[in-house]
A and B are shown apart, each in its own frame.
Chain A
């Protein structure tokens, strides 16, 4: 589905939206989505794709909003030993890294 997400990102950008792309870049254990999976987010709040089974998309979308404001890419760690992951509930016991970047 990677391909579809890039097409979505391009279409949204062409429609004048501000767009950020989040990509799973590494996983350990029982992560539901493999490396390469993408979540595309717009400043207006549209979302497509996924980087987990729905556990961390909200947190990633928040960071994506920040990245769209600052233009600074971010590398996020989610894992069961991570307090933040507990907060957002990565219940599967997996660990993953997500790279968030602005489309500009």
Chain B
């Protein structure tokens, strides 16, 4: 790989711009798409690699190519700067997620409690609209407080986020579903919410609950 190409690739990634690295396996020639124009079949395969977020092997004009998509980082939006969030944020970051914590309660969402994590102090509905969750976004609400969780879930369910989870017991969740239905969300929408949140591993402590949540996020992401 040429140092100049590596620099371009890193610049694209730092800017959150999706690119594909193409390598011709016979001689190691490489290029970045869409920065460089490519013949139809290669360009189509490159777009498909980005869409599926999977590498691809392609035969083009008798040459074997390897396509490696570089999509922007997956995102995790955590609503509630609570104890579980303190365990969840670094764990998610370690798995490559760009983490944002939303909590208007400034006493909770402090730099001291969440060193180096992006903090958003807006009300959850405004914060969520601004963050614009997409198909590469996971959302988990942890506040236990309907005033904060509900507006976040309202926006989350209108988005294409690949994961929506909400902390709370079955009883709490049943009441939450009633409120979300009153806001106009149908059965299919509310069925998207993972609750009680996380895989059932009998988690008790904050780090254990964070682990169960991340395990469920990964499972959803990998189609399990």
- A residues with a Cβ closer than 8 A to B are 1-3, 6-7, 9-10, 13, 21, 23, 25-26, 34-36, 73, 75, 99, 101-104
B27 touches A26 (CB 8 A): no
Interface size of B by CB at 8 A reads 19
What DSSP secondary structure best describes chain A's contact surface?
mixed
B28 touches A23 (CB 8 A): no
> How many Å lie between the Cα of A20 and that of B10 in the bound state?
17
B25 touches A3 (CB 8 A): no
A-B Cβ contacts below 8 A, count: 54
B33 contacts partner chain A, Cβ-Cβ < 8 Å: no
B2 contacts partner chain A, Cβ-Cβ < 8 Å: yes
B68 contacts partner chain A, Cβ-Cβ < 8 Å: yes
Contacts of B10 in A (CB 8 A): 6-7, 10
> How many Å lie between the Cα of A25 and that of B65 in the bound state?
9
Since A3-B70, A13-B6 are in contact, a sample of 4 more A-B pairs with Cβ atoms closer than 8 Å, ordered by chain A residue number, is: A6-B9, A10-B7, A26-B66, A73-B27
The closest CB in chain A to the CB of B71 belongs to A3
- Please name 28 pairs of A and B residues whose Cβ atoms are closer than 8 Å in the assembled complex, sorted by A: A3-B13, A3-B70, A6-B9, A6-B13, A7-B10, A9-B6, A10-B6, A10-B7, A10-B10, A13-B3, A13-B6, A23-B66, A25-B23, A25-B55, A25-B57, A25-B66, A26-B57, A26-B66, A34-B55, A35-B55, A35-B57, A36-B55, A73-B27, A75-B25, A99-B66, A102-B1, A103-B2, A104-B3
Contacts of B66 in A (CB 8 A): 23, 25-26, 35, 99
Contacts of A99 in B (CB 8 A): 23, 25, 28, 66
B1 touches A2 (CB 8 A): no
* Contact residue among A3, A35, A101 (Cβ-Cβ distance under 8 Å from B1): A101
